[in-house]
Amino acid sequence: MVDVEPSLRQLEPRLDRAIDHEYAAVSTLAVLSLVLGLLSLPALALAFVSSFKYWLLNLIPLAAVVLASAGLYRIRRSEGTLAGRRIAMVGLALGGLLLLSGIVLHGHRHLERRAYRAEVREAAFAQFKDFAPEGLGRLYDRFGESFRAKVWREGFVGYLAGLSRGAGEIQKREVISIDLFPRDEGDISARVFFRLRGKSRCIDMRVWFERVGEGEWRPLSVSAGWAFEP
């Protein structure tokens, strides 16, 4: 005797569909793709506002695309027992559009910050191209009023002059790192770790800059001290 029970169980969803045309389960994957597609817009906005610090939020539209594609595949293979094709298509469209937008915005922000770092690097080298005792007064004058109000000129010049004499002739200048920080006014500031390699010793400097115009950066504050022996 042939066991037809397994075959009947497989046919049950098709029979239900044939008898009742309104019967069809909505694909869970399609619904999830729509939900994630709708969440992609605030996720992309938050990622952009935070300068893509929370870059994992970009995975939300990607997940919407993946789930929508999987949902459409299952709906197509279900022979009418699964519904939700339009829902999946909307989720796919939202996820794909916002995923592409995120890539474009992230690329733009990356190039923008790369240009900022190049500008800050040039500004740092320009500030310390002549780290000799006779040029430290001019260096002090380039800092903003808030820094000059807190730090006396004589103390600034005297301290850095002592470092300069102890380091010996400066043989190499290099930027160790540059960190960028958005400001409340919509502009940006930068923290630069700068190293002066002297003949006898190295001097490490931490300098804060603020962007005051297109390609223009003004030093805000500086701290310096001995580093390792060269």
Assigned CATH for 128-226: 3.10.450.100
Chain position carrying tokens 């903003």: 144
Binning pLDDT at 50, 70 and 90, where does residue 16 land? very low
Tell me the mean pLDDT in the region 138-144: 87
Q: Is the confidence at residue 195, as pLDDT, over 50?
A: yes
Over residues 28-82, the pLDDT tens digits come to 999 999 999 999 999 888 888 776 777 788 899 999 999 999 999 999 999 888 9
Least confident of 33-47, 91-105, 171-185, 188-202: 171-185
Which residue type does 43 have?
Answer: A
Binning pLDDT at 50, 70 and 90, where does residue 14 land? low
Distance between CA atoms of 29 and 35, rounded to whole angstroms?
Answer: 10
Which one, of 89, 109, 108, lies nearest residue 97 by Cα? 89
Residue ranges per structural domain of the chain:
5-114, 128-226
Tell me the mean pLDDT in the region 140-157: 89
The per-residue b/e assignment along 33-58, b for 16 or more CB within 10 angstroms, e otherwise, is: bbebbbbbeebbeebbeebbeeeebb
Over residues 153-178, the pLDDT tens digits come to 999 999 998 998 888 888 889 999 99
Q: Give me the phi and psi of 202, to 5 degrees please.
A: -110, 150
Q: Is the confidence at residue 186, as pLDDT, over 50?
A: yes
141 versus 52: the higher-pLDDT residue is: 141
Look over the chain and give the mean of its residue pLDDT values, rounded to a whole number: 85
Distance between CA atoms of 170 and 205, rounded to whole angstroms?
Answer: 14
Percentage of the chain lying above the pLDDT 90 cut: 48
- Does the pTM surpass 0.75? The reply is no
Q: Is the confidence at residue 121, as pLDDT, over 90?
A: yes
